[in-house]
Amino acid sequence: MQNNFKIKKNIFEYSRKEIFNFQNHLRKVLKNGRFINSILVKQFEKNFSTIIGTKGAVSFSSASTATSALIDIICNGNLKNEIIIPVFSPVPVVQSILNYKYKVRFVDINPYNFLIEEQKILRAINKNTKVIMPVHLFGNIFNINSLKSKIYKKFKRKIFIIEDASQAHLSSYKGINAGCFGDAAIFSFYPTKNLGAFGDAGAIVSNNKKLLEKLKIYRNYGLHPSKFQLIISGNNFRMDELQAIFLIEKLKSLKKENIRRKKISKIYKQALINLPIEFQQISKNTSTNWHVFSILVNKNIRNNLVSYLNKKNIETAIYYQKPLSKIFKYKVNANISENFINAEDISKRIICLPIDPKMKISSAKSVANIIKKYFNEK
């Protein structure tokens, strides 16, 4: 069962209509002559916050710069402030905090749903905890409402909760979209995300209008828009019109593409159910956007199975190869010496399979068949 064609993780193909619309928008931008943070960026911000269901959205040059701005505004220069984050997350989540010299406190994940563990968050909170930033990993949703009520009962003080929804575009819990639960939420539009731009881009959504206004000022050097005055610290974190062109257009097909990902995930689950494989457990009342479809296998065969699939022309990925505590060893302002057994274990067993919405159904079936064949040959 050899594939003649490579089954890729990401397929960048656009319909004629999409290309026509990109070109139309581009003509307008060229005529307007304002390439950064102009009419289309504002239009995208409006469209995005409407579809997510928040009062507003502020675009950024990436999710990383969005995170830095948001954390810097909340912590306001107090370098004692700690930010709790899941230890099983991508590198940029930590970089954007540590670059601003705030402290990170890693917390282990749940071994079944791969999300930061609520009980462990509650144990990790101390007097310096300013922000908790759960990641909706692979599109699965962490229950922010439950955490909020427990924090309120136990600590009776304000701790900011920021959703890292970079992987959860239109994932929902009880019909409410990721991004609507925390004090604010961060999205990435890196090209391989469910909603991807033409390069780097990101956004923050929130219902807090004051915070949204501050973020707009922060991403533009901290300059007040009308008075020529620096009013807060800031940076150049703006998004350009080219990204907005892509995002406005692709936002239109996001729902449909998420449904397609769901279809592929069903094929995988049905075909692989009787094998020695575990799946990420999707949280109760949650509709995931299937940003990533992962499987867990015995750690002794993981690398062997990955090379078997590669030889059969199937691209896979390992998200994530190591817990963040092992990657940020040289940094002092994080609790790197703790043991994070669940993240350790999963990082040795995980394989992520191709799940692009443009993937053929026959390709998904052949990925599943080749995995079955691997186990039959063993």
Residue 56 touches ligand PLP, criterion: CB under 6 A: no
Q: Closer CB to ligand PLP, residue 142 or residue 340?
A: 142
Question: Which position among 49, 62, 177, 289 is part of the footprint of ligand PLP (CB under 6 A)?
Answer: 62
Asked if residue 135 binds ligand PLP (CB under 6 A), the reply is: yes
CA distances, 111 to each of 252, 278, 345 (Å) = 35, 11, 8
Instruction: Pick one of 166, 177, 288, 363: the residue that binds ligand PLP (CB under 6 A).
Output: 166
Rounded Cα gap, residues 168 and 141, in angstroms: 8
Q: In the chain, where does DSSP find H-type helix? A: 16-32, 39-52, 63-75, 91-98, 118-124, 144-155, 209-218, 241-251, 254-272, 302-311, 324-327, 341-349, 361-377
Total residues interacting with ligand PLP, rule: CB under 6 A: 15
* Integer Cα distance of 59 and 31 in angstroms: 22
- Interaction of residue 240 with ligand PLP, rule CB under 6 A: no
The whole-angstrom distance between residue 122's C-alpha and the CA centroid of its chain comes to 23
Please identify which residue in 82, 108, 117, 164 interacts with ligand PLP, judged by CB under 6 A.
164
Q: How is residue 221 annotated by DSSP?
A: T
Q: Is 90 in the site for ligand PLP (CB under 6 A)?
A: yes
Decide: is 95 part of the binding site for ligand PLP (CB under 6 A).
no
Between residues 197 and 368, which has the closer beta carbon with respect to ligand PLP? Answer: 197
- CB 167, min distance to ligand PLP, A: 5
Left if phi > 0, otherwise alpha if psi is -120 to 50, otherwise beta: which for 138? left
| Cis ω for the linkage preceding 320 (within 30 of 0) | yes
314 to 353: interface string for ligand PLP, x by CB under 6 A? ----------------------------------------
Residues making contact with ligand PLP (CB under 6 A): 62-64, 89-90, 92-93, 135, 164, 166-167, 188, 190, 200, 202
